[in-house]
Structure 1
Amino acid sequence: MDTTRSLVYIAFCAAVIAVLAQVMIPLPLVPITGQTLAIGLVVTLLGKKYGTQAVCLYIMLGAIGLPVFTAFSGGLGVLVGPTGGYIIGFIPTAMIIGLYFEKFGYTYVHAVIANIIGMFVTLLFGALWLKLFANLTWSAAFISGVLPFMIAGIVKACIAATVGLTLKRRLQQAKLLQIIQ
């Protein structure tokens, strides 16, 4: 794929993550957001390489202070706050989802499995972060950082799989997404 087209896809998908990050259901410590849905959607659509680059671009934009994180927040303070582990975890999440697709292909069942695995990777990073930086016990980190998000995460994984594969197929049929795997 030509460099300009890949850069446009990466930038557009980083913007999609930023927009979906604003979809939020507040909870006491960490809100349920559209970010994880967006991560799964972007990687399902673009694959490991470009999907991970879009995630990294999104995180870099937020880190330099652009208001792309949840509730239009940005800056390094967000990355060292309670949600920082989830955000940092988006990078290995994207890579693992992409690796799964490379190994097993882009079927609906595999897309759901890849996105559920990705959801658990994000939750693992978030809980670990809460344990270390919010000084929670392991059980408190699990109860506040994983448990409330499991059902929503599975639903978002199914949505990311369905929408991501549909968009991918339609864009490929229109010859707008020819080379991305």
Structure 2
Amino acid sequence: MNMENYYSTRKNVFERIQDASTATKLLMSLMMACFTGLMAQIIIPLPWTPVPITAQTFAVLCSGLLLGKKYGCLSQILYVVLGVAFIPWFGGMTGGIDVFLGSTGGFFIGFIIASYFIGLITERYAKARNFTRMAIIIGIANFGLIYIPGLAGLALWMSSQGMAFTFIDVLMMGLVPFIVGDIVKILGAASVSKVFLPKD
């Protein structure tokens, strides 16, 4: 396949996703929720924090890129709601309201917000779909929109458990151990944008 055909195919696939029926988009949202649940099972527990390293953030970041603001956001709402209701697809094959209200609950809220934000930028600004710009946008979503509610939720949970902690403690438990891995996931998602999304 020459480059002209590649660009044409990429644009056609993107437009077909954008123009798909509501039923098809709902199905794609459900599939992305399943992908998020699958990636959540790639897990590395850390002994000093209840927040594990998982690969699910990569799926969250890609959901907005591939499905846009509305259906990317919906995929993460489905992931959270179905995980709370009856599907044990949170990290470590867990689920239920107790997990949502636990140490990682704030991150679930961040997933929904970040997916919407990335989808919004992807839909509105075609020039933002190149690698460098998208890496910056995804980095903002990851470290701002996911971690702010995530760390707030972690702090609330620690307080509810009667734990004495400082702001530095929260950062060491909920942010610092994940920075390197998150950078890898951000660059991976930016690569998805570069390869699969049209730039016009």
Please tell me the TM-score bracket, short chain as reference.
0.7 to 0.9
Aligned length: 169
Identical columns (%): 36
Residue 156 of structure 2 corresponds to which residue in structure 1? 132
| 2:131–2:193 contact (8 Å) kept in structure 1 | no
Give 3-state SS (helix, strand or coil) of 2:92's partner.
helix
| 1:44–1:98 contact (8 Å) kept in structure 2 | yes
1:54 to 68, 75, 82: 75
Aligned partners of 2:44, 2:151: CA distance in 1, in Å? 18
Residues 118-153 of structure 1: CA deviation (Å, up to 9, x unaligned):
211212221111112212322211121111111211
Give 3-state SS (helix, strand or coil) of 1:127's partner.
helix
Aligned partners of 1:91, 1:153: CA distance in 2, in Å? 17
Does 2:35 match 1:16? yes
1:75 to 88, 96, 99: 96
Residue 176 of structure 1 corresponds to which residue in structure 2? none
Aligned partners of 1:24, 1:102: CA distance in 2, in Å? 31
Give 3-state SS (helix, strand or coil) of 1:111's partner.
helix
Q: How does 1:20-169 map to 2 (within 5 A)?
A: 20-28=39-47, 29=49, 30-105=51-126, 106-120=129-143, 121-135=145-159, 136-168=165-197
Q: Which one has a bigger Cα radius of gyration?
A: 2
Which runs of 5 or more residues in structure 2 are unaligned? 1-19, 160-164
More off after superposition, 75-84 vs 111-120: 111-120
- TM-score normalized by the length of structure 2: 0.78
Residues 74-94 of structure 1: CA deviation (Å, up to 9, x unaligned):
100001111111112111111
Which runs of 5 or more residues in structure 1 are unaligned? 170-181
- TM-score normalized by the length of structure 1: 0.86
More off after superposition, 130-139 vs 68-77: 130-139
Residues 86-128 of structure 1: CA deviation (Å, up to 9, x unaligned):
1121111112222332443322222212221121121222111
| 2:76–2:115 contact (8 Å) kept in structure 1 | yes
Q: Which amino acid is 2:42 matched to?
A: V
Residues 155-180 of structure 1: CA deviation (Å, up to 9, x unaligned):
101111213543456xxxxxxxxxxx
Aligned-residue CA RMSD in angstroms?
1.6
Residue 25 of structure 2 corresponds to which residue in structure 1? 6
